[in-house]
Structure 1
């Protein structure tokens, strides 16, 4: 009986096995783990699909074992036309090919602080075609996550990428219709480290979505009850990189790069200056009342406290801090 294999091709000259049938794989060799016979090489098939960006469908025969298989390969194309992965089915020539699992490729820009996405990546989480946009903020994506593993490694590869980095991890993601999904994700930086290519794979039919621990849930509920919200903040652009816990429902922070600035332009220099002082070793400081984007064009007066954010090898082009946000009316 045939089965699907998912191969990541996020870096030039690299092709490793991500999943085989109903089993996740840890970036292992495709030569030793995919080919049904020693005289049938998988690498040329993968490279052909990577170069042509077209499906591959052919019956190949092994002289060693005197048997034939059908090889059907489908490219997972990213937002800039490069192939982030290859879905490869190998089975009997007369066998019907089952449906592939949902996959997509996105590109995380470390200079623009934007995620470039394909229609397929939006559709995986339920976005309708009329609501899809080609770019999103990291906070737009991460806020969908119910839980994601290897948080520190994820932040390091997306905020301080190095050419030899690679990360295979899991996300439990909230679908627009309310159910949870379990996504496998593989990330590799580009050679110049100006971006990170990502391959997403919906493995929900096999792996149960992971849920926050009791401690994590308690932290989120406690912050929500006090109306305190904490975010990783990039002061240079005045944007939220990710929310730690739940995002505030009283602020319009999603797609701020399209809908207008998150921080009032007159208040941003103050946050930038405080962030720089905190990052230079000064203790946490209050920014006082800052106007943040609300709904219907309204600015919401908010109390903001700026705290240092510790990350090994901080990116030189970013002023990253932690900000604690509460409605100004709650202060006093």
Structure 2
């Protein structure tokens, strides 16, 4: 293995596993499956454990002094190590270049996401545009939809600890270049010092090459959820999105965002439903469970501050056989629409 770095996930919950050899993805295989049960397996495990604990690179020797062991941490901005690049070779060998890998997380309990400088390098984000935290919907802005999209959204909605996912996505970098990246992740429950529990999806993104020349990369066009999206075909002035019914938060835009609405993370004007309209939004969510289609006018936070009235038409959609979300079309209300209402199965209900 002297000519390849091993990419080892350290998401937690189970024993670390190999998710890449060089720039070739692996399906979370046990370290012993790659190294065998030879004399260096325990040296590798020890180096990985030390790097995770210290969050510092390791440069040492195997127990028999015959091999050099290099291990490099892959942390997020929070400092937690999501993966380790591991190389074992002869002391006189020069290690090969490491393939680009970025660490990332989705906090499924708070709707906050974050990454690392390595991830933002992979995405081609300019230094002046780098933020340490965003909201979930911002992650999907640069990912081209693929056949695994519904499965990923279902895992975000259910927020079940232990859930894992691996898939290759096409990434549209900020400079317009399309790259293929293999994503690996696992949902893990964290217990905070105050006793609160949060479910965090911890992941790595391995750059595996130009999208156009990578056979496993999905084509650069939306292919997932296509049949359900046809139910709410795009019309001028209307913008489609997928919304988490459990949390009433935006999962992703299918079109350009509605102009003027606050949907990105902002300390001054964060995304929000007007507090007085939250009961109305919950009524919309409950109505979808039985009617399959509802309409409402709600006040959402405006990007410039204050609130803006938005017409919402929502259809129930299946992400998998057990998980649903809302396919929502948003627009500015037509003149004469009431201040707020919910319409279920063609009948208006007082808010």
Q: TM-score, normalised by structure 1?
A: 0.81
Q: Tell me, in whole angstroms, the C-alpha distance in 2 between the residues paired with 1:249 and 1:277.
A: 24
Aligned to 1:287: 296
Write the distance in 2 (CA, Å) between the matches of 1:32 and 1:239.
41
Distance 2:279 2:259 in 1: 23
Please report how far the alpha carbon of residue 147 of structure 1 lies from its aligned counterpart in structure 2 after TM superposition. Answer: 2.4
Q: Report the CA distance between 1:97 and its aligned residue.
A: 2.6
Give the one of 195, 201, 214 matched to 1:196.
201
Relative distance call for 1:257 and 1:303 in structure 2 (3 A) is: same
Equivalent residue number for residue 271 of structure 1 = 281
Label 1:12 to 1:308 Cα distance change in 2 as closer, same or farther (>3 A): closer
Which residue in 2 is equivalent to 1:8? 9
Q: How many residues align?
A: 320
Instruction: Give the CA deviation at 1:169.
Output: 1.5
CA apart distance, 1:61: 7.4
User: In the aligned structure 2, how far is the partner of 1:210 from the partner of 1:237?
Assistant: 30
Q: Give TM-score, length-normalised by structure 2.
A: 0.77
Taking structure 1 as reference, are residues 7 and 97 closer, same or farther at Cα in structure 2, changes over 3 Å only? same
Gaps of 5+ in 1: none
207, 211, 214: which one aligns with 1:207: 214
Q: What does residue 119 of structure 2 align with?
A: 121
Mapped contact 1:71–1:91 kept (Cα < 8 A): yes
Looking at structure 2, the residues matched to 75 and 215 of structure 1 have their Cα atoms a distance apart, in angstroms, of 35
8 A Cα contact 2:58 2:72, kept in partner: yes
Please list the CA deviations of residues 55-82 of structure 1 after superposition, one character each: whole Å capped at 9, or x if unmatched: 122343769xxxx443211011134322
1:135-284 equivalent positions in 2, closer than 5 A: 135-191=133-189, 194-204=199-209, 207=214, 209-212=217-220, 223-224=233-234, 226-234=236-244, 239-243=249-253, 245-248=254-257, 250-258=259-267, 259-261=269-271, 263-264=273-274, 267-279=277-289, 281-284=290-293
- The separation in 1 between residues aligned to 2:250 and 2:305, in whole angstroms, is 18
Moved more, 82-91 or 232-241: 232-241
Q: CA deviation at 1:32?
A: 2.4
* 2:40 is the counterpart of 1:40: yes
Match of 1:23 in 2: 24
Distance 1:254 1:98, change over 3 A: farther
Q: Which runs of 5+ in 2 are unaligned?
A: 191-197, 338-351
Q: Secondary structure at the match of 1:204?
A: strand
- Structure 1 distance, partners of 2:332, 2:94, is 58
- Give the conservation status (yes or no) of the 8 Å contact 1:75–1:85: yes
Higher mean C-alpha displacement, 231-240 vs 173-182: 231-240
Determine the C-alpha separation between the residues in 2 that align with 1:264 and 1:247: 23
Deviation, 1:12, is: 4.5
Shift of 1:47: 1.4
Match of 2:348 in 1: none
How far apart are 1:212 and its partner, in Å?
4.5
Distance 2:52 2:165 in 1: 21
Contact 1:238 / 1:262 at 8 angstroms: preserved in 2?
no
CA RMSD of aligned residues (A): 3.5
Over 3 Å counting, the alpha-carbon distance change for 1:149 and 1:46 in structure 2 is farther
Structure 2 counterpart SS, 1:194: strand
Provide closer, same or farther for how the CA distance between residues 22 and 108 of structure 1 changes in structure 2, counting only shifts above 3 A.
closer
Q: CA deviation at 1:85?
A: 0.6
Kept after mapping to 2: 8 A contact 1:256/1:262: no
- Is the CA contact 1:143–1:247 (under 8 Å) kept in the aligned structure 2? no
